[in-house]
């Protein structure tokens, strides 16, 4: 191990839709977590690996902590809360363009139960004035003994370098866990499924997002280098199936077109993507289906 090399695990937590996945992707330099303006987009702990000559940080982008309304919701919240006890530091993201609310206070209550250093990361500073930002900092800083308070814009990268420098001072000396060119520890099939789900979130109406899951049935590289992928989009109702397919299959075709572009960028190979849509009624509350789709209590 290189003398003085630092490494560690850092959780990114916060209410749904505060910019956790945006920050993760900015730090890693490519898309490993899907982004959407719809809350509760992230369902699993997404591991992103950030490596420099002097340190390596494995970031865990957790599902947003919220009041669950289904077995899937229970899984998401348990996943996020269990992470707090497993890491070297915690980044608690808040959206400074929104009022401090019950969701933020609930998370702060959970943070009181851990001894891990917590950074208050105040995201979306490009949407408020400096004076407003100062007032918001005062509101938060009395609620918890934060190790650091760092205002940033995850979307534009403002002050993110400062955040990383400060974070490095809290990490222990340790090994490089992953090769320098590896950006996630999730298998490619997981990331491919997430990229397809992202396009569905972008292109469908409000009733679809939390009712959709994607399973990769088949993924293989052919002799000519083409990657052939077969994926199933699961919804809960027949009406949702119709929405995802669209008139004469137009929406499903557009989902495939947009997803294929991201998948080819990820894999660096030409891709043939075939999509099917199937109904699994009330899948978010069916334990076996959740397990089949990769949602497992750890």
| pLDDT tens, position by position, 13-62 | 888 778 887 888 888 776 655 544 444 444 445 578 889 999 999 888 66
Per-residue model confidence (pLDDT) at position 228:
92
**Local structure of 225: helix, strand or coil:** coil
Domain with CATH 3.40.50.300 in the chain: 6-168
Tell me the fold of 188-292.
Answer: GMP Synthetase; Chain A, domain 3 (3.30.300)
Confidence of residue 162 (pLDDT cuts 50, 70, 90): very high
DSSP letters along 85-154, please? TS-SEEEEEEETTS---HHHHHHHHHHTT--S-EEEEEE-GGGS-HHHHHHHHHHHHTTS--SEEEE-BT
Considering the entire predicted model, what is its pTM?
0.62
Cα distance between residue 120 and residue 92, in whole Å: 5
> In the 8-state DSSP scheme, what is residue 30?
S
Cα distance between residue 238 and residue 39, in whole Å: 24
Phi, psi of 218 (to 5 degrees): -155, 140
Per-residue model confidence (pLDDT) at position 66:
46
More confident residue, 23 or 184: 23
Domain with CATH 3.30.300.20 in the chain: 188-292
Homologous superfamily (CATH) for 6-168: P-loop containing nucleotide triphosphate hydrolases (3.40.50.300)
């Amino acid at each position: 191990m290189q003398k003085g090399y630092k490494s560690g695990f850092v959780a990114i937590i916060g209410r749904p839709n505060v910019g956790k996945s945006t920050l993760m992707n900015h730090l890693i330099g490519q898309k490993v977590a899907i982004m959407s303006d719809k809350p509760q987009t992230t369902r699993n702990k997404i591991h992103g690996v950030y490596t420099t000559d002097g340190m390596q940080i494995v970031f865990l982008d957790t599902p947003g902590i919220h009041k669950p309304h289904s077995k899937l919701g229970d899984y998401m919240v348990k996943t996020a809360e269990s992470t707090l006890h497993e890491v070297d530091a915690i980044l608690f993201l808040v959206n400074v363009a929104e009022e401090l609310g019950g969701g933020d206070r609930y998370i702060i209550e959970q943070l009181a139960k851990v001894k891990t250093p917590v950074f208050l990361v105040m995201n979306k500073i490009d949407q408020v004035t400096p004076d407003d930002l100062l007032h918001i900092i005062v509101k938060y800083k009395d609620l918890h003994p934060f190790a650091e308070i760092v205002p940033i814009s995850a979307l534009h990268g403002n002050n993110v370098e400062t955040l990383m420098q400060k974070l490095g001072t809290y990490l222990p000396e340790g090994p490089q866990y992953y090769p320098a060119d590896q950006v996630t520890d999730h298998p490619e099939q997981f990331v491919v499924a997430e990229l397809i789900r992202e396009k569905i979130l972008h292109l469908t109406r409000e009733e679809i997002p939390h009712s959709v899951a994607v399973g990769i049935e088949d993924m293989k590289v052919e002799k000519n280098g083409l990657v052939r992928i077969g994926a199933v989009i699961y919804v809960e109702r027949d009406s949702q199936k119709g929405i995802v397919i669209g008139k004469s299959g137009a929406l499903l075709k557009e989902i495939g077109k947009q997803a294929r572009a991201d998948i080819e960028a990820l894999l660096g190979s030409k891709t043939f993507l075939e999509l099917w849509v199937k109904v699994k009624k009330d899948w978010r509350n069916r334990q076996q289906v959740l397990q089949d789709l990769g949602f497992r209590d750890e």
